[in-house]
Amino acid sequence: MDETALTSIKGIGPSKAAKLTKLGLISLSDMLSYAPVGYIDLSNVREISSLADGETAVISVALDRDPVTVRLRGGIGMVSLYCSDATEKIRISYFNQTYRAKQFTKGYSFMFYGKINRSRGASMTNPMCIKEGEGIIPVYKTVAGVSQTNLRDIAKKALESLGSQMQETLPDSVRTRYTLCTREYATRNIHFPISGEALMRAKMRFEFERFVTYFYMVKRYRKEREQQKGVNLNATTILEDYEGCLSFDLTDAQKRVINEIARDISGDRPMGRLVQGDVGSGKTAVAMFLIYAAVNAGRQAVFMAPTEILAEQHYNNLKTIFGDKACLLRGGMSVAEKRASLENIRTGKCLAIAGTHALLSQDVEFFDLAAVITDEQHRFGVSQRAALEGKGFVPHTLIMSATPIPRTLALIMYGDLEVSVIDELPPGRKPIKTFLVRPNKRDDMYRFIENLAKDGKQTYIVCPAVEQNDEITDMRSAEEVYDELKPALCVPVGILHGKQKAQVKAQTIERFREREIMVLVSTTVIEVGIDIRNATVMVVENAERFGLSQLHQLRGRVGRGSEESYCFLMYEKMSDTATERLKTLASTCDGFEIAKKDLELRGPGDFWGTRQHGEADFSWFSELCDVKLVKQASECVELILSDDELYDDMRVLLDSAVSSYYMGKDRITLN
């Protein structure tokens, strides 16, 4: 492909090019595969009088006067534009951009995209000025010093000069069979969609490719693993001893799954098993059995968590059973602590190890690793599983997933694994009372939370973003909610989000656990795994912005004991599917029901802005547009693997894609 440097574009000098490198954009061709994170539909022009305070929209206005420039205190320049459309006058202000004054002239028409403020007449601050004829435009992930306009210019240039040379990767027969558009069409429309429909087709095509690559890898990997040797942990008779270490009796479902695991690890093949269980079904106790079996046989096991908070929680659980044979490895540890853990892992002094994926995939040297557990599979891919090659044997792997997808689909998605299901909740759980709440009832809800807090019950409040975002203005941020609540409630309020240092996060969650904080304002960092029984209220801000399964996960942070629990879903404006999502949630607590409904509701239309959720980290499964596509991709991989010469080229392509995928990932070194 063309390696034209980005500096060949007007407005991009060496310093900007250096910043672009941080985004992985080095040559023009890199931009082709740099997909937008969202889109703005500029074709939808609105009348000013129809816009409510705070709404973000495109308006088309004429300038009633020439621009007025003034210097404010502190030397900031402000340009004001007095404009109107047929329905209303509006004032547009630009701060720190005095050059703007030259761009506008009285009597001419312009279009702006921004957030309307109605506090003193209608106004907009620093809106985007858009050209006539711009339809749906992309929004890219960017860094300081690189504007959306820069990225859009690069994308345009890249498509102009390289679009037509693009290599097609899918054979015609595959494209026809599954009615997929060409790679060139898909690339053009992923950046600058000519319509919503075209964008959808483009995404389908890329999703299909992604699934094909993934399934190809999964199927290849399964074949490889089936030929390898595992460690016999002789675990068929230790269940009773294990149960003696727990503070509760296992449910029948937990016992059944544990027995399946015990059989797997008591032979000479490496286990590869997925355990599915609804949130709160007690997956941790099942996972710990595997660690127990390994330690019992004098070997090591690791429990990997997707977040530092969760790693710490697992560690605390391990400590109660394994004492000083347990250790932790996570971000934010002191150098000395980390060195001690690494040393204990290397020498075999510690056998039960909890840690975050990131740290464990760096060059940790194990003494004798026999089992690996990953919590919440969707954040730990098959390539990492494949990277777990030992000396002469492959460790047993157990993957825990709370995404209760239907069994047929699970078998496709996790084609390299056996699947077990924990289909029973521990006794005594009450359904979580779930309510949809409008903003005007917010104060009542705060009083409710406050009263419960006085009775010793704790609350989580989850927001879709950490801080205010200028592009997405109708979204509540954790900082905003925290600032509002701290003075308003007479109980201690805390804040937790992904941008904090590991140490701060760990302390905050500890203080919440110790009930020094009664109301915790947070982002989706608490989505998975957190287990604090005394918390009985979950509030989700902008609930309309979250997917159904994600809401179910969030709600699952409460109702973990026998206490009455509540979930309040706050919402502002909602589409019909969002309404249906929230109603579904209010009507049932059954994860499988919810997952089924989720798949039904998730039309391709949902593609719009699915990633505009601030910090929310969407797994590729939750972005999934429909089950049909997954099934088709899986079927397509069967065709490709059938040795038909029609697919020779694809096999070569896929093999190289898979190898570079493997290589790009950190490997876990085993000794």
Binding interface with ligand ADP (CB under 6 A): 248-251, 254, 277, 279-285, 402, 426, 531, 533, 560
Across the beta sheet with 418-422, the strand order is: 326-329, 352-356, 300-305, 369-375, 396-401, 272-277, 418-422
Closest contact distance (angstroms) between CB of 283 and ligand ADP is 3
Closest contact distance (angstroms) between CB of 254 and Mg ion is 13
Q: How big is the CA angle at 317 (ends 312 and 319), to the nearest 5 degrees?
A: 90
Residue 232 CB-half CA count within 13 A? 5
Q: From CA 170, how far away is CA 211, in angstroms rounded?
A: 13
For Mg ion (CB under 5 A), the number of binding residues is 1
The residue among 169 and 377 lying less far from Mg ion, judged by its C-beta, is 377
The residue among 83 and 398 lying less far from Mg ion, judged by its C-beta, is 398
Q: Are 274 and 401 in contact (CB under 8 A)?
A: yes
Select from Mg ion, ligand ADP, none the partner in contact with residue 248, using the beta carbon and a kind-dependent cut-off of 5 to 8 Å. ligand ADP
User: Which single residue is written with the structure tokens 């973003």?
Assistant: 465
Select from Mg ion, ligand ADP, none the partner in contact with residue 281, using the beta carbon and a kind-dependent cut-off of 5 to 8 Å. ligand ADP
The residue among 563 and 666 lying less far from ligand ADP, judged by its C-beta, is 563
Nearest Cα to Cα of residue 584 among 594, 575, 595: 594
The residue among 531 and 635 lying less far from ligand ADP, judged by its C-beta, is 531
Please give the backbone phi and psi of residue 633, each rounded to the nearest 5 degrees, phi first. -65, -40
- Residue nearest ligand ADP (C-beta atom): 282
Select from Mg ion, ligand ADP, none the partner in contact with residue 355, using the beta carbon and a kind-dependent cut-off of 5 to 8 Å. none
Q: Are 436 and 586 in contact (CB under 8 A)?
A: yes
Q: Which two tokens stand for residue 574?
A: 């909602």
The residue among 287 and 630 lying less far from ligand ADP, judged by its C-beta, is 287
What is the bridge-based pairing of β-strands 77-84 and 68-71? Answer: antiparallel
Residue 245 zone, left/alpha/beta (φ > 0; ψ -120 to 50; rest) = alpha
The residue among 20 and 285 lying less far from ligand ADP, judged by its C-beta, is 285
Closest contact distance (angstroms) between CB of 422 and ligand ADP is 7
Question: Could you say which of 529, 547, 556, 591 contacts Mg ion (CB under 5 A)?
Answer: 529
Closest contact distance (angstroms) between CB of 464 and ligand ADP is 22
State the Rg of the chain over Cα. Answer: 27
Nearest Cα to Cα of residue 629 among 219, 207, 183: 207
Closest contact distance (angstroms) between CB of 429 and ligand ADP is 9
First-last CA distance in the chain: 41
The residue among 349 and 430 lying less far from ligand ADP, judged by its C-beta, is 430
Q: From CA 629, how far away is CA 608, in angstroms rounded?
A: 18
Closest contact distance (angstroms) between CB of 404 and Mg ion is 13
The residue among 157 and 283 lying less far from Mg ion, judged by its C-beta, is 283
Select from Mg ion, ligand ADP, none the partner in contact with residue 404, using the beta carbon and a kind-dependent cut-off of 5 to 8 Å. none
Q: From CA 639, how far away is CA 421, in angstroms rounded?
A: 30
How far CA 548 is from CA of 26, 306, 414, 523, 528, in Å, comes to 38, 20, 21, 16, 14
The residue among 28 and 253 lying less far from ligand ADP, judged by its C-beta, is 253
DSSP reduced 3-state for 391: coil
The residue among 355 and 529 lying less far from Mg ion, judged by its C-beta, is 529
What is the bridge-based pairing of β-strands 566-570 and 535-540? Answer: parallel
Closest contact distance (angstroms) between CB of 529 and Mg ion is 4
The residue among 405 and 452 lying less far from Mg ion, judged by its C-beta, is 405
Closest contact distance (angstroms) between CB of 375 and ligand ADP is 8
Nearest Cα to Cα of residue 303 among 382, 222, 359: 359
The residue among 279 and 538 lying less far from ligand ADP, judged by its C-beta, is 279
Q: From CA 337, how far away is CA 359, in angstroms rounded?
A: 13
Q: From CA 255, how far away is CA 74, in angstroms rounded?
A: 69
Q: From CA 290, how far away is CA 261, in angstroms rounded?
A: 8
What binding mask, one character per residue, do residues 485-524 give for Mg ion by CB under 5 A, x or -? Answer: ----------------------------------------
The residue among 280 and 390 lying less far from ligand ADP, judged by its C-beta, is 280
Is 404 near Mg ion (CB under 5 A)?
A: no
Select from ligand ADP, Mg ion, none the partner in contact with residue 250, using the beta carbon and a kind-dependent cut-off of 5 to 8 Å. ligand ADP
Query: What type of residue is 28?
Result: L
Paired strand residues for 375: 400
Select from ligand ADP, Mg ion, none the partner in contact with residue 467, using the beta carbon and a kind-dependent cut-off of 5 to 8 Å. none
Q: How would DSSP label each residue in 624-635? A: ---HHHHHHHHH
Query: What type of residue is 123?
Result: S
Closest contact distance (angstroms) between CB of 561 and ligand ADP is 7
Per DSSP, 218 falls in state H
The residue among 395 and 529 lying less far from Mg ion, judged by its C-beta, is 529
Closest contact distance (angstroms) between CB of 585 and ligand ADP is 17
Select from ligand ADP, Mg ion, none the partner in contact with residue 285, using the beta carbon and a kind-dependent cut-off of 5 to 8 Å. ligand ADP
Please give the backbone phi and psi of residue 266, each rounded to the nearest 5 degrees, phi first. -105, 35
Closest contact distance (angstroms) between CB of 589 and ligand ADP is 13
Q: From CA 392, how far away is CA 230, in angstroms rounded?
A: 9
Select from Mg ion, ligand ADP, none the partner in contact with residue 282, using the beta carbon and a kind-dependent cut-off of 5 to 8 Å. ligand ADP
Select from Mg ion, ligand ADP, none the partner in contact with residue 127, using the beta carbon and a kind-dependent cut-off of 5 to 8 Å. none
Closest contact distance (angstroms) between CB of 532 and ligand ADP is 9
The residue among 31 and 410 lying less far from ligand ADP, judged by its C-beta, is 410
Closest contact distance (angstroms) between CB of 113 and Mg ion is 42
Query: What type of residue is 596?
Result: K
- Residue nearest Mg ion (C-beta atom): 529
The residue among 28 and 285 lying less far from ligand ADP, judged by its C-beta, is 285
User: Which single residue is written with the structure tokens 């600058």?
Assistant: 192
Q: From CA 103, how far away is CA 516, in angstroms rounded?
A: 56
Q: From CA 591, how far away is CA 632, in angstroms rounded?
A: 25
Q: Are 276 and 254 in contact (CB under 8 A)?
A: no
Is 355 near Mg ion (CB under 5 A)?
A: no
DSSP reduced 3-state for 327: strand
Closest contact distance (angstroms) between CB of 277 and ligand ADP is 5
Select from ligand ADP, Mg ion, none the partner in contact with residue 560, using the beta carbon and a kind-dependent cut-off of 5 to 8 Å. ligand ADP
Per DSSP, 45 falls in state B
Closest contact distance (angstroms) between CB of 395 and Mg ion is 21
What binding mask, one character per residue, do residues 148-187 give for Mg ion by CB under 5 A, x or -? Answer: ----------------------------------------
Under rule CB under 5 A, which residues in 568-597 are in contact with Mg ion? none
Nearest Cα to Cα of residue 155 among 29, 38, 2, 39: 29
Q: From CA 403, how far away is CA 227, in angstroms rounded?
A: 29
Closest contact distance (angstroms) between CB of 652 and Mg ion is 41
Residues that bind Mg ion (CB under 5 A): 529
